[in-house]
Amino acid sequence: MQQSKALAFALVAPALLFLGATLGWPLVQAIQLSLQDVRVIGSPGSFVGLDNYARILSGPAFWNATGLSIVWVVANAIVQTILALVAAIILNEKFPGVRIARSWIILTWIVPTVVVVVIWRWLFSTSGGMINPLLIQMGILERPVGFFATPWTAMATLVFINSWRWFPFIALMMLAGLTRIPDDLYEAARLDGANAWMRFCRITWPLLAPTLGVLAVIGTLLSFNVFDIIWLLTSGGPAGGSRTLPVLIYETAFKGYRLSEAATISVMTTIFLMAFAVIATRALDRTDR
């Protein structure tokens, strides 16, 4: 048994060391950087203590980005949960072609983000895009709209595109939870006279809740960290209307050349996210018991 403990360590060590070197160590570097005044990568900096933190916490940019990140996460959570839940329930039914549907629903997720961006940029564009004519034909719009022109339509469009990319993945994870609910529970409920809606409320929802809890945590972290879709579509604009925290960090570091400030925002973001992850998993553990 003693030898098997050493073996167990040997089996986890490569993964741990790898993550330590690629994620852990850079985080330490980021903390160091946040206490200095480095502007460009490679240039020397001097120790400034918590100056960066004080400056960022007292300015509006960080708080605006935090607010937008929260809006981003919540909006994505709502849209993705609804789409994914409906999709998962459909995929859990039996109908001709369900196996094909189960496989190919994930199509939106396996395509490079840049391609997703181009697809939707074209579809939403005023020249040749399909969305404007479609909405005009349906009588929702009177004339073509520039979806990325105003802050809130830009944000809404971004949420839609990101949700479109991610909801199938979430739906499959939900489907995994759904398939674990035994069929005879539904049959028993039917014998008890429950209709489809009651069966959903009294069986599907409560039994799926633990899975949904885990997915809520994972989904929050996933969407919080989304950067490429936003950057490629709006670069945080218009008028900073989609400048979430990851966008702010990138801008500060690579456009504003204020590396230490970017590191400072990074460190604070990490602390927030980790606190969230710890609290959320604790809460989940508790409801599990």
Partner 1 sequence: MRRSLSLNALLGASLAFFTALIGLPFWWVVSGSIKLPQEIISRLPTMFPQSFTPQHYQKLFQASDYPVYLINSLIVATSTTLVTLVLAIPAAYAFFRLTFPARGVLYRSILLAYAFPSIVVLIPLFGLFAKVGLVDRLPSLIIVNVAFALPFSIWMLRSFLAGVPKEIEEAAVIDGASTLKILRRIMIPLIAPGIAAVGIYAFVTAWTEYVFASVLILSDAKRTLPVGFSGIIGQYQIDWGLLLAGATVAIVPVVALFALIGRGFVSGLTEGAVK
Residue numbers 29-88 binding partner 1 by CB under 8 A: 29-30, 33, 41-42, 86-87
Q: How far apart are CA 262 and CA 250, in angstroms?
A: 7
Q: 54 and 66 in contact (C-beta within 8 Å)?
A: no
Per CB under 8 A, the segment of 52-60, 200-208, 234-242, 274-282 that binds partner 1 is 274-282
Q: 280 and 218 in contact (C-beta within 8 Å)?
A: no
Find the binder of partner 1 among 48, 66, 71, 108 (CB under 8 A).
108
Q: How far apart are CA 102 and CA 172, in angstroms?
A: 8
**Helix or strand or coil: residue 289?**
coil
Take residue 159 and report the two structure tokens written for it. 């949420």
Q: What does residue 36 show for φ and ψ, rounded to 5 degrees?
A: -120, -175
- Name residues contacting partner 1, limited to 135-164 (CB under 8 A): 164
Per CB under 8 A, the segment of 58-66, 147-155, 233-241, 264-272 that binds partner 1 is 264-272
CA angle 235, 237, 241 (to 5 degrees): 130
- Residues that bind partner 1 (rule: CB under 8 A) add up to a total of 94
Find the binder of partner 1 among 37, 71, 109, 153 (CB under 8 A).
109
Find the binder of partner 1 among 127, 140, 193, 289 (CB under 8 A).
127
How far apart are CB 176 and partner 1 at their closest, in Å? 5
Q: Which is nearer to partner 1, 155 or 245 (CB)?
A: 245
Q: Which is nearer to partner 1, 71 or 90 (CB)?
A: 90
Give the count of beta carbons closer than 10 Å to the beta carbon of residue 36.
19
Q: How far apart are CA 286 and CA 273, in angstroms?
A: 20
- Binding status of residue 124 toward partner 1 by CB under 8 A: no
How far apart are CB 59 and partner 1 at their closest, in Å? 19
| DSSP symbol at 38 | -
- Name residues contacting partner 1, limited to 1-30 (CB under 8 A): 4-5, 7-9, 11-12, 14-16, 18-19, 22-27, 29-30
Q: 23 and 232 in contact (C-beta within 8 Å)?
A: no
Find the binder of partner 1 among 63, 152, 205, 254 (CB under 8 A).
254
Q: Which is nearer to partner 1, 42 or 60 (CB)?
A: 42
Q: How far apart are CA 5 and CA 2, in angstroms?
A: 5
The identity of residue 277, as a single letter, is A
- Name residues contacting partner 1, limited to 207-236 (CB under 8 A): 218, 221, 224-225, 227-228, 231-232
- Binding status of residue 187 toward partner 1 by CB under 8 A: yes
How far apart are CB 222 and partner 1 at their closest, in Å? 9
CB burial string 140-173: b at 16+ within 10 A, e below: eeeeebebbeebebbbebbbbbbbbbbbbbbbbb
Find the binder of partner 1 among 201, 239, 279, 281 (CB under 8 A).
281
How far apart are CB 263 and partner 1 at their closest, in Å? 6
How far apart are CB 208 and partner 1 at their closest, in Å? 13
Which of 151, 146, 176, 119 lies closest to 236, judged by CA?
151
